[in-house]
Amino acid sequence: KMVMGSFVLLAGALVIQSIAFTVGTILWPFFVRDHFSWGTSEYSIILFLSSLASTAMLAIVPLCAKQRTAMSACIIAAVTGVGGFLCRESSLLSKFSHVAFMTVFLSATQMLDPILKSSATLCMPQVAQGRSFGVLATLTAIGQMVGNIAGPHLYTASKDRGWDNSVPLVAVGALMICGCAMTAMAKLETDVCVLGVDDNTQRSKEQRHLEELRIARYNPLIPKRLDKEN
């Protein structure tokens, strides 16, 4: 059964996920260069660790590809994204905390992509699932383009104006909270629709049973047999 409202909400959450992942990936090397004075070798190491964590998270997606998991991942990404870019001191603890937070942030946001796409396509009829997946892929590409343009621009603008250059990443954390809310609303609408379908199915079975009893009582010439479905 089609649940268009849930599909739209999950598609919006997917755009937010795409923007957040793109912004985090692009701005991470700038941040560690400006605050920790790290170069290419240090960034390649932390990027390798992040890739390992992301691969491990994607491996468990088939076991937990549910909208409830997507909501949890949005909250984790919001908290760790903001926390990672607030760790900008030169101490060893701050550097370790930053790498840990950002690794979890990138892993959680990357994990969201297949979960949101699978949940959104299930909101559409089977004949439209292929086309809906194409729409979702297009929205992902649009989110990446927005992140590629908005992330570096906001980072440079905030730095030039004397603001904290972690402002765009804090904004990404706020976007992830919005994504969590959209996923929660989509889940609520889907649950209500499923409950309505189950209720209508139960009512139709009861009505058919009462009709059979009425026919058996007032039409004795009609054979008393149950329908093949029962």
* pLDDT score, position 163: 67
3-state secondary structure the chain: CCCHHHHHHHHHHHHHHHHHHHHHHHHHHHHHHHHHCCCHHHHHHHHHHHHHHHHHHHHCHHHCCCHHHHHHHHHHHHHHHHHHHHCCCCCHHHHHHHHHHHHHHHHHHHHHHHHHHHHHHCCCCHHHHHHHHHHHHHHHHHHHHHHHHHHHHHHHHHHHCCCCCCHHHHHHHHHHHHHHHHHHHHHHHHHHHHHHHHHHHHHHHHHHHHHHHHHHHHCCCCCCCCCCCC
* pLDDT score, position 145: 93
* pLDDT score, position 32: 86
pLDDT in tens, 144-198: 999 899 888 888 887 777 666 667 777 777 888 888 888 888 777 666 554 444 4
Residues of the chain with pLDDT > 90, as a percent, come to 7
pLDDT in tens, 42-77: 888 898 988 898 888 888 777 766 667 777 888 888
* pLDDT score, position 139: 92
Q: How confident is the model at residue 213 (pLDDT cuts 50, 70, 90)?
A: low
In sequence order, which residues have a C-beta less than 8 Å from that of residue 108 and are 6 or more positions away? 57, 73, 74, 76, 77, 80
Over 50: is that where the pLDDT of 20 sits? yes
- Average pLDDT rounded to a whole number, residues 5-25: 88
Residues of the chain with pLDDT > 70, as a percent, come to 77
pLDDT in tens, 77-116: 888 888 887 787 778 888 888 899 989 988 888 888 888 8
Could you tell me the pTM of the whole model?
0.75
- Average pLDDT rounded to a whole number, residues 23-43: 86
Rounded distance between C-alpha atoms, residue 7 and residue 20, angstroms: 20
Task: Please tell me the number of Cα atoms within 13 Å of 128 on its side-chain side.
Answer: 14
